[in-house]
Amino acid sequence: MGINHFFTSKMSDALGWARKYSIFQYPFVTACCGMEYMSTAAAHYDVDRFGAGFPRFSPRQSDVLFVVGTISQKMAPVLKMVYDQMCEPKWVVAFGVCTCTGGFYDNYSTVMGIDTIIPVDIYIPGCPPRPENVLDGLMKLQEKIQKGEQSRTLYDPKTKKGRPAQLGNTP
């Protein structure tokens, strides 16, 4: 291990540290989970303690896409477009069980998990998840950002691969 390797690894550590404490998030809020999101963001739970208190309503300026609430088939192309417009490096948080797996929906209108459309880094299940859950997910995301990890794979309903086992087998 030479001095150059030592320097670049320290450099990426510093970058990860800077990134994880300055998360600019894009809240893609579509449903009731939005209430819990607001509660997390407001003074009582105060997401700003983690450096993530600054929602940018432009995908071009944000690092983390918070998908909060049920995504319908009609909304899916919009979500995909917002994701595509974000600059690298970018991360995605699935907030609430509807975004994780489709939740209790099994019908004509609902996307069965946003990981069939875009890669998801952190799943926060719950209907809705409590703010403590959300903060836990946020800290796990920070760990991931520190390590420089990003999810690149989609869930395949046929092979049932690409989704954490804890979420169970869903269609």
Partner 1 sequence: MTPLQTIQQHFEARLIETHDFRGDETVVIAGGLLTEMALFLKKTPELDFNYLMDLTAVDYLFFAGGRIEKRARFEVVYHFFSLKHNHRLRLKVPVEEQNPEIDSLTGLWASANWFEREVWDMFGIRFKGHPDLKRILMYEEFQGHALRKDYPFNKRQPLIGL
Residues lying near partner 1 in the complex (CB under 8 A) are found at 73-74, 76-77, 80, 106-109, 111-112, 116-117, 154-158, 171
As separate numbers, helices (DSSP H) first and strands (DSSP E) second, the chain gives 5, 5
Q: Report how far residue 29's alpha carbon sits from residue 14's, in angstroms, rounded to the nearest whole number.
A: 31
Q: Identify which of residues 26 and 155 has a Cβ nearer to partner 1 in the complex.
A: 155
What backbone phi and psi angles, to 5 degrees, belong to 95? Answer: -105, 115
Taking the complex as a whole, how short is the minimal distance between the CB of residue 112 and partner 1, in angstroms?
8
* Radius of gyration, alpha carbons of the chain: 16
DSSP state of 161: B
Q: Identify which of residues 23 and 111 has a Cβ nearer to partner 1 in the complex.
A: 111
Q: Identify which of residues 61 and 153 has a Cβ nearer to partner 1 in the complex.
A: 153
Taking the complex as a whole, how short is the minimal distance between the CB of residue 57 and partner 1, in angstroms?
23
Q: Identify which of residues 15 and 76 has a Cβ nearer to partner 1 in the complex.
A: 76
Cβ(116)–Cβ(153) below 8 Å = no
Taking the complex as a whole, how short is the minimal distance between the CB of residue 128 and partner 1, in angstroms?
23
